[in-house]
């Protein structure tokens, strides 16, 4: 029984870390408000999923997902109408990613970055991406391998906007950031405004199909495979001949599937990175049609 104490409910469980990809697949079909994954030393992950308090059907579906993925218990915790992640964010500290990045969860503070790193200020919020997950870190590390200066860049499924901001910081000539979620697009605008330089990516709510007759030298796409797979032909359409596509959100076990999808879309893999069980792939479009 859920007590009527607030506007939200946190549905909390614990699943094997190896099933995080399955969790993403299951939740992608549900209108959840946010997800938080906290790995443990035992190989399990603490999972928190948020829904509106009155949405009993959704809450029950989330419970069934967690039970189905091996959670022995599932708790439903009423959460008052407030910024429920504020206390969590207050305890976060800046951290390094790769060789060049310094992710600061307090962008409005006075903290700086080590001299050899670029500071990216990103307020962590559920489901938008804050640089802590392996998939986002892999994307940032791949960007270190690309000479972005002067390129046109598309950040597809921008979330918090951290990748669009990173490309801008590396000197991209133009950055377009898209997300089908208008709230995410708004969050990306907030992120770009909080940087310590004049950061001006063009941000909009929409899909790759809204872009019209344009092309990009570099496309960034940090999504799970079931989301980006059907979009690959559309992505190729707006990827300039010889341009590069960086994909993340891929479990190592999905590598062959992604390779086949890229081959079907006439793109070739030219690089790959790995963190834990997650991989990112860099592919290129040939100069042909």
Kindly tell me if the per-residue pLDDT of 194 is higher than 60: yes
Rg over alpha carbons for the chain, rounded to the nearest Å, is: 19
Q: Which residue has the higher pLDDT, 207 or 80?
A: 207
Domains and CATH numbers, the chain: 8-84 (3.30.70.120), 129-285 (3.40.50.150)
Residue 222 has pLDDT above 90, yes or no: yes
Contact (Cβ atoms closer than 8 angstroms) between residue 163 and residue 194: no
Q: What's the pLDDT score for residue 169?
A: 96
- The mean pLDDT of 253-280, rounded to a whole number, is 94
Task: Give the residue-averaged pLDDT of 217-226.
Answer: 95
- For the cut 70, the answer to whether the pLDDT of residue 125 exceeds it is no
Q: Residue 220: what pLDDT? A: 98
**93 pLDDT exceeds 90?**
no
pTM of the model: 0.71
In this predicted structure, what is the pLDDT of residue 1?
A: 30
Give the C-alpha separation, 276 to 269, whole Å.
20
Residue-level pLDDT at 87? 56
Mean pLDDT for all residues in the chain:
88
């Amino acid at each position: 029984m859920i007590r009527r104490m607030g506007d939200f409910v946190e549905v909390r469980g614990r699943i094997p870390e190896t099933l995080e990809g399955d969790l993403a697949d299951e939740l992608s079909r549900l209108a959840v408000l946010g997800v938080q994954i906290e790995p443990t030393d035992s190989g399990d992950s603490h999972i928190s999923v948020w829904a509106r308090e009155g949405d009993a059907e959704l809450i029950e579906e989330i419970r069934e997902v967690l039970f189905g993925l091996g959670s022995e218990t599932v708790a439903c915790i009423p959460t008052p109408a407030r910024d429920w992640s504020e206390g969590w964010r207050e305890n976060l500290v800046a951290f390094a990613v790769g060789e060049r990045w310094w992710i600061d969860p307090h962008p409005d503070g006075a903290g700086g970055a080590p001299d050899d790193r670029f500071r990216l200020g990103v307020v962590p919020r559920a489901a938008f991406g804050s640089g802590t997950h392996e998939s986002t870190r892999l994307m940032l590390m791949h960007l270190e391998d690309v000479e972005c200066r002067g390129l046109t860049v598309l950040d597809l499924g921008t979330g918090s906007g951290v990748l669009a901001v990173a490309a801008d910081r590396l000197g991209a000539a133009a950055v377009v950031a898209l997300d089908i979620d208008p709230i995410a697009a708004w969050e990306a605008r907030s992120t770009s405004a909080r940087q310590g330089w004049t950061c001006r990516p063009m941000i909009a709510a929409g899909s790759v199909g809204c872009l019209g007759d344009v092309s990009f030298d570099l496309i960034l796409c940090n999504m799970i495979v079931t989301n980006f797979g059907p979009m690959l032909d559309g992505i190729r359409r707006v990827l300039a001949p010889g341009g590069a596509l960086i994909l993340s959100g891929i479990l190592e076990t999905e590598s062959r599937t992604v390779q086949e999808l890229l081959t079907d879309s006439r793109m070739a893999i030219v690089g790959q990175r790995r963190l834990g069980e997650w991989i990112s792939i860099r592919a290129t479009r040939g100069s042909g049609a």
